[in-house]
Structure formats: structure tokens, C-alpha cells
Amino acid sequence: MHKRHCRTGLRRGSLACALALLVCGPGARADEAARVAYQDMCVHQATGIPAPMGESDLKGHPSLKIYCGCVAAAFEERALQRRQQGGPQPSLQQSVQEERDLRSACRAKLNMPPLPARSVPQ
């Protein structure tokens, strides 16, 4: 069980590193490389994380790679807007909701199944 949690944490950490590259990478080549790296991690690692936090419900979907590219572009746009606007960082709850909204928008755009509902902790 410990190994499973450790692997999930590493996957999420890898996705976070790819997102950081999207925002901080210098130049168009770095941006494209970061997008491709994020897309690859989304396709191969996020599908191993249970939905709704991951994309396990999309494993094997024919549009998965396109979806991952859509999400990468949306995350990059959001991060760049935040950096340009400055101001306080959003709360964790707000960030999680924005991420869900971006993922849901990409799913809808590609006629994919909606993001599964979150289970509310009791």
C-alpha cells in the first residue's frame, strides 16, 4: 500500500514539474518541449491516477493525447495570465476548482465523457 501511495505522489509531482516548465521555460522551443512533456505524462501517468483527480477513466480513449494537449495549453494560458496580472495567489480550493473547470472544458470540447463527480469527504 505504501508503494502505491508513493507512486501516485511521484506521478503528481512529475505533472507539477511539467506544469512549472510550461510557465517558466525560456523561449518557444522550451514551451513546445514542456507542452510535449506534459502531454506525454498526462497520457502515460495521469491515466494511472483514479478519477476525478486523475484521468483513469480516459485510459485507452482515442482522443486522450489531443485532450492532454488541450489541458496543457489551458494550464499554460492560465499560468501566464496569473503571472501578468500579479496579485495574490488563489486559494488551494480555488485552484482545484479552476483545474477541474479547465479539464471539464477540454472534455466537452472533444465530446469526451464528463469529469466524474468528486466524492465529498465525510
Is 99 a domain residue? yes
Give the domain extent around 90: 2-109
With respect to residue 122, please indicate whether it lies within any of the assigned structural domains.
Answer: no
**Cα distances (Å, whole numbers) of residue 120 to 52, 74, 111, 117:** 12, 26, 26, 9
Q: Check: pTM over 0.75? Answer yes or no.
A: no
The answer as to whether 42 is a domain residue is yes
Q: What is the pLDDT of residues 18-54, one digit of tens each?
A: 555 444 545 556 577 877 888 888 999 999 998 888 8
The answer to whether residue 31 is domain-embedded is yes
For the cut 70, the answer to whether the pLDDT of residue 14 exceeds it is: no
Question: Per-residue pLDDT tens for 104-117?
Answer: 999 999 999 999 88
Q: What is the 3-state secondary structure (H, E, C) of the chain?
A: CHHHHHHHHHHHHHHHHHHHHHHHCCHHHHHHHHHHHHHHHHHHCHHHCCCCCCCHHHCCCCCHHHHHHHHHHHHHHHHHHHHHHCCCCCCHHHHHHHHHHHHHHHHHHCCCCCCCCCCCCC
Residue 114 belongs to some domain of the structure: no
Whether pLDDT at 7 is above 60: no
Residue 29 pLDDT = 60
* Residue 118, in any domain of the structure: no
Residues above pLDDT 70, as percent of the chain: 71
pLDDT of the residue at 77? 87
Is 25 contained in some domain? yes
Tell me which residue has cell 507542452.
Answer: 35
What's the domain count of the chain?
A: 1
Which is nearest to 68 in space by CA: 31, 113, 103, 16? 103
Cell of 23: 510557465
